[in-house]
Structure 1
């Protein structure tokens, strides 16, 4: 049998890096993509340590031309893992609509660019689309309005696409990590500045940041989250939605069984009290 090919976005660190190594260890040919390929060192080192190889390609998910160029020349494609994304901290009164739009471009429209371009090849291979969302795609969280909006959009889009894609043989799934020990949170820039400029929101923001530090003190490893991705890629009948840890399952369950919204509102309000 031919070796299957998976394209993974956002592989320079964190879950993407771990997923690239883990899928290669499972026998896949991995096309590991990132916006800046000069940042491939950590991935290449991890792959070498694991005794596997990956193919590095440049890909900016917000640039359709970059997506097309990245996919060009692939002989086959059996799966796409949409992992690239960016965090964002802020609240509506104190940021511009353009700020929010930029978050949507990376976290929502970037997923659409890659998935749309890949679907013809995935139809041919009867392949899979696996998209890393977040527990923030299920439960809206204070000061993560734009980020959660983008992840909610991804969840709704993929949940709607899944039955349609299934009619042409493509399986669609989403992966919902909770807190993961990676560079993702540290890459959310401007925390100190946002707090200094928070004005009337400063007490609530300070409480939220303290709660977040505590949550990430017990964060899941990227490798643990990546294991859920590999399981979906190799499952005979992949499910649509997977949480990557017991904490993530417990957290999303609060929303998925919360008919009137009161449970989630009580939970998240306590974070900023």
Structure 2
């Protein structure tokens, strides 16, 4: 039987890079994709250190033609891991709708482009779709409105898609990491500029950033999150929703048992009220 193939998006750093390496170590043929393959240096170094091999290919998830072209070059696909994503820091009044659209293009429509292109191959192999969302796809978080909206959309789409795909033998799962110590957080950027432009929201944003620094001081490693994803590649009957750590499980449980929404509002409001003025 041919070695099973997994295609992973967003593998230049963080969870995607760690998942590509761990999947290869687990015996998978790995197609590791990224928008700009000139940024594959860290991945290739990690692959060499691990003593495994992977296939690096260009794939811009925001471009449906790029997705179709990349997938058309495969003769077999058993698992698609949608991992590519982009963060955003800010709030609606101080930002633009165009900023929100850009976040949706990567985090939501990017997932749709690649998944749509992959489904014919996955139906043939009776494979599976694994999409990395976030605890932010379950719990809306202050100053992450665009990011959480996109991740909520992904979760709703995949939750609706899962029973349909099951009728043709394709399993669908979402993976919800919490805080992960990776370049993803660094790449969000704009913290100083966001504070300068926050106007009346500056005290709340300052409190939120202080809380975030505490959360990421105890963040999970990319390798820890990747281990959960690789388990989903190999398990016979994967669950639909999986968190990557005890902290992520506890965090999402607040929402999943919160019938009237008050527990989430109490929790997230506490993140932005410290040292804020009522004036």
| Bucket of the pairwise TM-score, normalised by the shorter protein | over 0.9
SS where residue 76 of structure 1 aligns? coil
Equivalent residues in 2 for 1:146-185, closer than 5 Å: 146-185=146-185
Equivalent residues in 2 for 1:1-273, closer than 5 Å: 1-273=1-273
Between the aligned partners of 1:129 and 1:71, the Cα distance in structure 2 is 14
Structure 2 gap ranges (5+): 274-279
What is the TM-score when the length of structure 2 is the normalising length?
0.97
Q: Which moved more, 1:46-55 or 1:66-75?
A: 66-75
Between the aligned partners of 2:76 and 2:255, the Cα distance in structure 1 is 39
Between the aligned partners of 2:38 and 2:169, the Cα distance in structure 1 is 36
Deviations 1:85-123 (A, max 9, x none): 000001011111111111000000000000000000000
Q: Which moved more, 1:96-105 or 1:126-135?
A: 96-105
Structure 1 gap ranges (5+): none
Between the aligned partners of 2:223 and 2:93, the Cα distance in structure 1 is 37
Between the aligned partners of 2:13 and 2:266, the Cα distance in structure 1 is 34
Between the aligned partners of 2:24 and 2:2, the Cα distance in structure 1 is 14
Give the C-alpha shift of residue 225 in structure 1: 0.2
Give the C-alpha shift of residue 72 in structure 1: 2.0
Between the aligned partners of 1:96 and 1:88, the Cα distance in structure 2 is 12
What is the TM-score when the length of structure 1 is the normalising length?
0.99
Between the aligned partners of 2:175 and 2:16, the Cα distance in structure 1 is 12
Give the C-alpha shift of residue 69 in structure 1: 1.5
Between the aligned partners of 1:72 and 1:157, the Cα distance in structure 2 is 24
Give the C-alpha shift of residue 189 in structure 1: 2.2
Say how many residue pairs are matched. Answer: 273
Between the aligned partners of 1:41 and 1:53, the Cα distance in structure 2 is 14
Deviations 1:241-263 (A, max 9, x none): 00000000000000000000000
**Deviating runs (4+, > 3 A) in structure 1?**
none
